[in-house]
Chain A
């Protein structure tokens, strides 16, 4: 199974600034996917963005982009122009031929 590591328990960012949330992974599967989820204080898990291991370009979804560096086994989430509503827990997850595994999450707080 894949191992996902998120080393930032908490992050602060000023409103309108960009922020990068770190994620590294470890897998022996040749084909895999990496995902990011947002969990606001209301509790729901919201799928944000997906990167396939064979995708040539980094994934982008609106203000979210995934900085995928295969050689470094990193899949960092970049949020541009942070908004107060971005304050939440963010989970990195990955899956290859076996089940998806989740990191422990990073709590992001956006400061006005």
Chain B
């Protein structure tokens, strides 16, 4: 069975550029989560969706960050414009429901120069 698929695996771009991270959750999972992980702040929940609807976006750091889930099999996290402090590993995870075990993708390692 395919797990959570994230793309790209690595992204290096210059500050000010738009960055789009993509995620395909496990089929049948109704909840999707976006996390950011850094050495300084650990694992932070940015936003999560239930049945494609954003439920809690209180972790989104600024208006430069936006996330969408147009259908049950696809989600994007967009940063526009990007800044060096956005450099981190971004994980997508999915689960059957919001309080069930989450399965993580391999992450996107983002470097903003």
Considering the complex, which residues of chain B in the window 79-113 have a beta carbon less than 8 Å from any beta carbon of chain A? 89, 91, 93, 95, 98-104, 106-107, 109
Binding site for B on A (CB under 8 A): 32-33, 35, 37, 43-47, 50, 91, 93, 95-102, 104-105
Which of B43, B48, B89, B99 has most chain A Cβ within 10 Å?
B99
Residues in B neighbouring A91, C-beta threshold 8 A: 43
Interface residues of chain B: helix, strand, loop or mixed (majority)? strand
Q: Is B48 in contact with A99, judged by CB distance below 8 angstroms? A: yes
Offer 13 A-B interface pairs, CB within 8 angstroms, sorted by A.
A32-B99, A43-B107, A44-B106, A45-B93, A50-B101, A93-B102, A95-B99, A98-B56, A98-B99, A99-B45, A99-B48, A100-B98, A101-B45
Binding site for A on B (CB under 8 A): 33, 42-43, 45, 48, 55-56, 89, 91, 93, 95, 98-104, 106-107, 109
> What distance in Å separates the Cβ of B14 from its nearest Cβ neighbour in chain A?
24
